[in-house]
Amino acid sequence: MEFTEFSTVIDSLFLFFGQTLAKNDRKRDIYVEVKDIPGIAMESIIKQIKRESDNLPRNIGKAFALGWRLYKSRHPEKIRKFETELCDECFGHGILTVENTLPGGRKEVFSFSCRLCGNWRRHFSKDNLFSTRAELETRGLSVIWPKKSIAVNVSVN
């Protein structure tokens, strides 16, 4: 799931529980924990959190992880297509997330689909912009995730 989609999902969750919307820094902290969850599972996960919780969960990353485990156990047929290809460019994550500093110092975060493998399908329901690390660096964008040492940790069982 890319950050923009995640951001919309989180806003809807905070609104549902009557909370002030999370600032971008907090969203990014949560995003790091849940970024490997495919967008296709989000609707189901959010529904489950709304159904099971009286308040906004204190540990949102944990609530998402639980929702993702339930989704996988309920929809094994949908999960098979998310099996990971080995890729030295995105380390199996399928996305390259960059941070761009805007004039005035505000930062924006967005994700490109990895051009070198098919793992982007886990995150994007339709075509996103494709790129490679070298292309992004040429455009002056620094890849903030995944760093080279972090391997994919999605289990598809």
Closest to Zn ion by CB, 48 or 132: 132
What is the DSSP secondary structure assignment for residue 17, as one 8-state letter?
A: T
Contacting residues for 22 by C-beta, under 8 A, at least 6 apart: 10, 11, 14, 30
The first and second tokens of residue 23, run together, are 């600032």
Closest to Zn ion by CB, 21 or 87: 87
Contacting residues for 129 by C-beta, under 8 A, at least 6 apart: 112, 113
- Rounded CA separation 96/150 (Å): 13
**What's the min distance (Å) between Cβ of 101 and Zn ion?**
25
Closest to Zn ion by CB, 7 or 113: 113
**What's the min distance (Å) between Cβ of 39 and Zn ion?**
17
- CA distances to 32, 40, 79 from 87, rounded to whole Å, are 20, 22, 19
**What's the min distance (Å) between Cβ of 129 and Zn ion?**
14
What is the DSSP secondary structure assignment for residue 103, as one 8-state letter?
A: T
**Residue 108, strand partner residues:** 100
**What's the min distance (Å) between Cβ of 96 and Zn ion?**
8
**What's the min distance (Å) between Cβ of 103 and Zn ion?**
31
Closest to Zn ion by CB, 64 or 91: 91
Closest to Zn ion by CB, 41 or 117: 117
Q: Give the interface with Zn ion as residue ranges (CB under 5 A).
A: 87, 89-90, 114, 116-117
